[in-house]
Amino acid sequence: MSETPAQPAPHPSATDGGPGAGGGSATLVVGLDIGGSKTHGALWRGGRLVAEAKAGSANVQNVTPDDAARSLGELFHDLLAHADAGPVARVIAGSGGVDTAADADRLRALIAQHAPHAAIDVVHDTRLILAAGGAHAGIAVIAGTGSVAWGTTRDGREARSGGWGYLLGDEGSGYWVAREAVRRALHRHDVGLAPDALDAAVLALNGVATPTELIGLFHSGAGRTYWAAQSRAVFDAAGEGDPDAAAILDRAAADLTRLVLDVASVIGMPGPVVLGGGLAMHQPALQERLRARLAAEGIEDVVVLHEDPVMGVRFLM
């Protein structure tokens, strides 16, 4: 497969009135991609995209129920401002943190407040990645605020690896990359080394003067989204040739490769692999390392997602 996603065959939902669109030209379908940092929504009328909107995260494991409800309320308000043809018939929500039936039920109940007449499907957000990449079977990898891999075969076998959240894992994620840079700065300070270029970049980005100030900041109200954004210090330093920054990215790629290999070993197929999430989609340094490690394991069919994951909903209708 080429480096850009193969164009999927036309899906019945992609045309007005097709079966996937609910059988009517005015049928409304809402798609949600609920990540650790934000929620991206899209509205289709009869299979035609008519609106998009973004709000804060509605991930039921990462934010409070009140925050999730507030984000969904803002999102549906913005989307349905474009819906002048009746109620929403279906919602397809892909979300991280949906690990049990109870997780799905909690999210479904929040969504139902804004689409009370809709059939609501809740799936893991990696399913959107794979669909948006034009693959009906394969392995999806998310490297963004968090990290996870999920795969499926055409006969319905599924497996996942990772996605346990930052306290238990999320290796190779933006949060993890930033945390490793902070840990490095603190260790160097503990052994009497003056801040080097990478340490200085981390300090400057966080608005502090000394490494020890990072301790209080890390344990303060600054959350996963904040720290994931700080990973850019590592990518910038690696781009300037800093060996320790490059080593952090090497470890991130190794950890993400392990997730892929775990899934491949369970479902019995090595790809295609679709890379999604902010880091995987927008950081070439990570893409290159991940491609190289996967190729070394015999996996060369790798696609970097080039459209927002929520667009995968149109292939799941």
The amino acid present at 81, given as its one-letter code, is A
Q: Is 60 exceeded by the pLDDT of residue 3?
A: no
Find, among 172, 160, 171, the residue nearest to 96 by Cα: 160
Q: Are 286 and 170 in contact (CB under 8 A)?
A: no
pTM of the model: 0.77
Kindly tell me the number of DSSP H helices and DSSP E strands found in the chain: 11, 10
- Quick: pLDDT tens for 281-302: 899 999 999 999 999 999 999 9
Query: Which residues are registered as beta bridge partners of 124?
Result: 95
Q: Is 90 exceeded by the pLDDT of residue 66?
A: no
Kind and range of the H or E run holding 184 = helix 174-190
Q: Are 33 and 46 in contact (CB under 8 A)?
A: no
Q: Is 70 exceeded by the pLDDT of residue 38?
A: yes
Q: Is 60 exceeded by the pLDDT of residue 14?
A: no
Q: Is 80 exceeded by the pLDDT of residue 224?
A: yes
Q: Is 60 exceeded by the pLDDT of residue 218?
A: yes
Locate 44 and state its tokens: 């289709």
**Residues in Cβ contact with 86 at an 8 Å cutoff, skipping those fewer than 6 apart:** 26, 28
Fold classification of 174-304 (topology level): Nucleotidyltransferase; domain 5 (3.30.420)
Determine the pLDDT at residue 159.
92
Give the lowest-confidence range in 20-24, 122-126, 227-231: 20-24
Q: Is 50 exceeded by the pLDDT of residue 13?
A: no
Residue owning tokens 């999920």: 150
Q: Mean of the per-residue pLDDT values for the chain?
A: 86
Determine the pLDDT at residue 2.
32
Determine the pLDDT at residue 316.
84
Q: Is 80 exceeded by the pLDDT of residue 24?
A: no
Q: Are 275 and 302 in contact (CB under 8 A)?
A: yes
Q: Mean pLDDT across the stretch 89-96?
A: 91
The residue that leads in pLDDT, 70 or 271, is 70
Class of domain 12-134+306-315: alpha beta
Q: Mean pLDDT across the stretch 202-222?
A: 92
Determine the pLDDT at residue 123.
87
Determine the pLDDT at residue 73.
93
Locate 96 and state its tokens: 């991280």
- The angle formed by the CA atoms of residues 114, 40 and 21, to the nearest 5 degrees, is 65
Provide the CA 317 distance to its chain's centre, in angstroms. Answer: 20
- Quick: pLDDT tens for 155-171: 989 999 998 888 898 99
For 56-90, letters b (16+ CB in 10 Å) and e give bbbbbbbbeeeebbebbebbbebbbeebeeeebbb
Determine the pLDDT at residue 27.
86
CA distance readout (Å), 21 to 3, 85, 91, 169, 256 = 30, 14, 12, 38, 35
Q: In what order do the strands lie in the sheet with 28-34?
A: 48-56, 38-45, 28-34, 88-95, 119-124
The residue that leads in pLDDT, 251 or 317, is 251
- Quick: pLDDT tens for 228-247: 999 999 999 999 999 999 99
**Residues in Cβ contact with 286 at an 8 Å cutoff, skipping those fewer than 6 apart:** 143, 235, 249, 252, 253, 279, 280
Confidence band, pLDDT 50/70/90 cuts, at residue 83: low
- Quick: pLDDT tens for 248-288: 999 999 999 999 999 999 999 888 999 998 899 899 999 99
The residue that leads in pLDDT, 277 or 221, is 277
Determine the pLDDT at residue 12.
34
Determine the pLDDT at residue 124.
82
**Residues in Cβ contact with 169 at an 8 Å cutoff, skipping those fewer than 6 apart:** 147, 162, 163
Locate 277 and state its tokens: 């999430």
Q: What whole-number distance in Å separates Cα of residue 284 and Cα of residue 58?
A: 28
| In the chain, ranges of CATH 3.30.420.40 domains | 12-134+306-315, 174-304
Determine the pLDDT at residue 32.
95
CA distance readout (Å), 112 to 64, 73, 77 = 17, 11, 14
